[in-house]
Amino acid sequence: MMQSRPNLKKAEEQFKLAIDKGEVDGYSQLARLYTKQKQTNKAITVFRAGYFK
């Protein structure tokens, strides 16, 4: 049985929305998403933004 591929763009939007609402956990979740996509620079930037929040 084949599993559907997760919608990464939708997940990214949801984590950004959480950040806009002030949910600090959104930063770490978004950084993890970027790490899985091998977008290291974005992951580091998001992680730092959340860390210094």
pLDDT tens profile 15-52: 899 889 988 888 888 898 888 888 889 888 888 888 77
CA dist., res. 47 & res. 3, Å (int):
30
Q: pTM for the whole thing?
A: 0.68
Give the integer Cα–Cα distance in Å for 17 and 9.
12
- Identity (one letter) of the amino acid at 40? T
* Residue 5, pLDDT above cutoff 70: no
- Angle at 48 (CA atoms; ends 42, 49), nearest 5 degrees: 90
